[in-house]
Structure 1
Amino acid sequence: PGLLLGVVLGGFCMLFQGGDVGGIFEAIHYGVEAASGHEMVDSLLSGGGMDGMMWTISLIMCALTFGGVLESTGMMQTIAGTMLEKAKSTGSLVLVTVLSCLFVNVLCADQYLAIALPGKMFKDEYANRGLAPRNLSRALEDSGTVTSALVPWNTCGATMASFLGVATFAYAPFAFFNLLSPIVTTIYGFTGFSIMTMEEDPASPEFKHKMKLKKSPRELEEYIANYQARTRMAD
C-alpha cells in the first residue's frame, strides 16, 4: 500500500507540475534523470523504474519457476529422503536441514524457496521425532534466510550487490552473522542446547495434554499466556 500510494502521489505531483500521462509511465518504466546541477544530488535522485530492476526481477521469476519444477516433479523429496536416511540423531537432522537450505539457496537462487522447500520436506520428520516446530523454524532461518545474501546469483545477493554497489564476494568475508548462524544452529542440534521437544513447547497439543494432568484448564491457559508474553519480550 505504501509503494502504491507513493506512485499515485508522484503521478499527481507530476501532472500538477505540467507533465502528462505518457511521462508518468515513462518515469515508472525507465526511472528519472535529475538535473539539479550538483553531481552528488543528481546521483541520489536519478534512477529507479522497473527497467533498472528488471534483471533482479527476472532472476526471481526464473528461480521461482525452477523451484516449482523441482517440487512438483518430486526431485526435492527424493533428495530429502536420501539425506534423511543418514540423519539418525537430532544433530544430524538439523545438519541435514542446514545443508538442504544451503543447497537450495545455491541451486534455486531464491531465499523463499530455501525456506519453503526444506520446510515442507522436513516438517513431518521433526514431528515424528517429537521435536517442536520452532527447532525447524530456527534451522531454516539460520541457514536459508541469512546465507542467501552470500550467493551472488541468489535474488538476495544480487539485490544487495546492486543496492550497495559492492560485489557479493567482497562483503561476504565480513558478514559474520551470516557465516556463523548455520554453524551455531548445527552445534545446538548436536549438543541439544535449546532443542525443545513437543511436550516442552507450550504451543503444542502434547504440552497441553501433559499439563492438563497437573493443572486446571484455567491455570494452563494462564501459564501459556505468560510464557508467550515472556517470549515476545525477549524477542
Structure 2
Amino acid sequence: MNKSFSLLEVVLIFTVTVSFLMMAISFDGPLYLAMIPGIVLLCGFGIKHGYTMNQFVHSSWKGVKRNKDVAWLLFFIGVLLPTWYFSGTIHDLNELFLSFISPSYFFTFAFLIVAMMSMVVGSSIASLSIVGVPLMAAADQIGLPVPVVAGALVSGGFVGDRSSPISSSFQLLRMSVEIDTKSHFRSIAPTLAWGVILSILIFLAMDFVIAKEQLTLNEVTPFSQLNYGSIGVSLLPPFTLLLMILFGQEMKFSFSLGIGTAIVILFVRGVAPMEWLEGLYFGVDALSGVRDMLPFVLFILVVGAYCQIMEDTKIIQPYIEKIFTDNRSLQKNTAQSIAVAAGASLISPNQSFPIILTGRTLMPYWEKNFSKAHLSRILADSTVVFAGLVPWSLLAILCSTIVGVPVLSYAPFAVFLLLMPVITFIYSGIVSKKNASGLKHVLQQ
C-alpha cells in the first residue's frame, strides 16, 4: 500500500489544523482542543495509507514524552514570575532599569532596558508589561513617535524571548531539535551579539535624527537615589537561577532554587502566604500564574503528539527533499530553512506550533547533512522572531495590545526582529567560507 501522502492531503491537513487554531484564538477558545480536528484528519488519511491506530498511539506518546520537560518548565515559569513579583524582584528590577533611561538616547535605552528585562524574565510579554508600559508613557511625555518606540520595545522583548535560557520558546526550540541548553545558547550567541550591536547602532542613529520636544522625565527615580540594599536582595533569585543554569545544573533544580530563594525573601519581607498563593495560581498584574500556564502546557503536549505523528508518517519529508536539493551549501540551506520558517509562521496563529513543526520537520535533514546546532540558530533567528511580525499571530497581537500600537505600525521599526534572519544568513556564509578555507588548508598540507 502507498504510504506517501498526496499534496492535496497535506494541504487539507494543514488547512484544517490552522483554521481551527485561528478560530480558537478569535473566540478565546482552548488551543489544545483546536488541535483535535487536525489530528483526526491526519490519522484518518494515515489509516487510508496503511498506518494503524497502535502506531498513532505510540507516536503520540513519544511526542508527549519528548515535550514533557518543556511542559514542566512552563509550569515552573507560572510559579516563578508571581513569586518574583511578591519578593520584590520585579519591582526593583523595573526601578533599576528605568533609572538608566536617557531622553537624549531614548530609543537605544528603551531597547536595551527591555532586552535586559526579557533576558531575566524570559518573556517578551512579561518584559513589555513590566517596563514597556512605563517606557511608552515616558515616550508620550517627551513627544516621541510611538511606532518607533514600540518597535524598540518589541525588539528588546524578543532578545530574551529568543535567547534567555528560561524562555519557553528557547527551551521548546532546543528540545525540538534535540540539543542541550548550553549547546543551544552557544549556537545562538554569535548572531545574538551581532543582532544586539546592529540594533543599538540603528536606534542610536534614530536618536540623533528624530528630535525630542523636551528632555526631562518625571516619575523616574535617578540611579543615585535607588535603595541598593533592597535591589541587591531582590537580585538574588534571578542571579541564583542563571548561575545554576551556567553551571549546567538540571533545569528543574535551577528553577526550584530560583523560586525557593524568592519565597524566603517574600516571607522575610512580610508577604502573607495566602496572598502569595492566590497570585501564584491566578497570576498578578500582567504576569501569568499557574492557571494561565495549564492550557498552554496541554497545547504543547498535544502539538508534540501531532508533530510526532507527522514525523513518523513522513508526511512532509518527500516535499522537504524536493526543496532541499543541495546538501553542501550551508548558506543556501539556511535561506531555504528561513523560507520554510516564514511559511510556517504565516499560516500559524501562535509561536509554539511553527517552532515545533519546523524543528521536528527539518531536524533529520540538518542532522544528516550539517548539524542540529546550525538548525537551532537558524530557527531561533527566524521562526521565533517571525511571531512578533505576523499581524494575526497571538504573540504579535499581545505585544501590540501592551504597547498600544498596531503590529503593522511598529513592525518597520522592530529592528532586531527584521535583522536576525539576515544576520543568520550572512553568518552561515561566513561559516561556510571558514570551513572551506580550513579544508583547503588541510588538503594542501
Q: TM-score range by the shorter chain?
A: 0.5 to 0.7
Q: Normalising by structure 1, report the TM-score.
A: 0.57
Deviations 1:201-230 (A, max 9, x none): xxxxxxxxxxxxxxxxxxxxxxxxxxx8xx
Q: CA deviation at 1:145?
A: 0.9
Question: What corresponds to 1:181 in structure 2?
Answer: 195
Runs of 5+ in structure 2 lacking a partner?
1-16, 19-34, 214-408, 413-417, 419-445
CA apart distance, 1:127: 1.4
Larger Rg: 1
SS of residue in 2 equivalent to 1:50: helix
Aligned to 1:161: 174
- Equivalent residues in 2 for 1:123-134 (5 A)? 123-134=136-147
Which residue matches 2:342? none
Matches within 5 A, 1:1-235: 1-2=17-18, 3-13=35-45, 19=52, 27-28=59-60, 30-31=61-62, 49-70=63-84, 75-91=89-105, 94-105=108-119, 107-166=120-179, 167-175=183-191, 178-191=192-205, 192-193=207-208, 195=210
Q: Quote how far apart the aligned CAs of 1:26 are.
A: 5.5
Higher relative contact order (CA 8 A, sep 6+): 2
Q: Distance in 2 between matches of 1:66 and 1:195?
A: 39
Give yes or no for contact 1:90–1:189 (8 Å, CA) kept in 2.
Answer: no
Alpha-carbon distance between aligned partners in 2 of 1:194 and 1:71, rounded to the nearest angstrom: 38
Question: Which one-letter code corresponds to 2:72 in the other structure?
Answer: S
Letter of the structure 2 residue corresponding to residue 5 of structure 1: P
Rounded Cα–Cα distance in structure 2 between residues aligned with 1:90 and 1:64: 37
Report the aligned-residue RMSD. Answer: 3.6
Q: Render the CA deviation track for 1:93-141: whole Å, top value 9, x for unaligned.
A: 6325423432332x32334423443322422112112122223322233
In the alignment, is the contact (CA less than 8 A) between 1:114 and 1:144 conserved in 2? yes
How high is the sequence identity, in percent, across the aligned residues? Answer: 11
Query: How many residues end up aligned between the 2 structures?
Result: 179
Q: In structure 1, what is the equivalent of residue 402 of structure 2?
A: none
Question: How far, CA to CA, are the matches of 1:100 and 1:183 in structure 2?
Answer: 15
Q: 1:136 to 1:64 in 2, by over 3 A?
A: farther
Letter in 2 for 1:56: V
Distance in 2 (CA, whole Å) between partners of 1:151 and 1:140 is 16
Report deviation, 1:64.
4.0
Q: Give yes or no for contact 2:121–2:166 (8 Å, CA) kept in 1.
A: no
Q: CA deviation at 1:156?
A: 2.5
**Residues in 1 aligned to 2:193 and 2:76: alpha-carbon distance in whole angstroms:** 26
Per-residue deviation at 1:19?
4.8
Corresponding letter in the other structure for 2:137: D
In the TM superposition, what is the alpha-carbon distance from 1:92 to its structure 2 partner? 5.2
Distance change >3 Å, CA 158–CA 65, structure 1 → 2: same
- The one-letter code sitting in structure 1 at the alignment partner of 2:170 is G
The one-letter code of the counterpart of 2:176 is: F
Q: Provide the rounded CA distance (Å) in 1 between the counterparts of 2:178 and 2:66.
A: 14
User: Structure 1 residue 83: deviation in Å?
Assistant: 3.3
| CA 66–122 in structure 1, closer or farther in 2 if over 3 Å, else same | farther
* TM-score, L = length of structure 2: 0.34
Task: Find the counterpart in structure 2 of residue 207 from structure 1.
Answer: none
| Aligned counterparts of 1:6 and 1:163: Cα–Cα separation in 2 | 20
**Secondary structure at the counterpart of residue 144 of structure 2:** coil
Cα contact 1:56–1:159 (8 A) shared by 2: yes
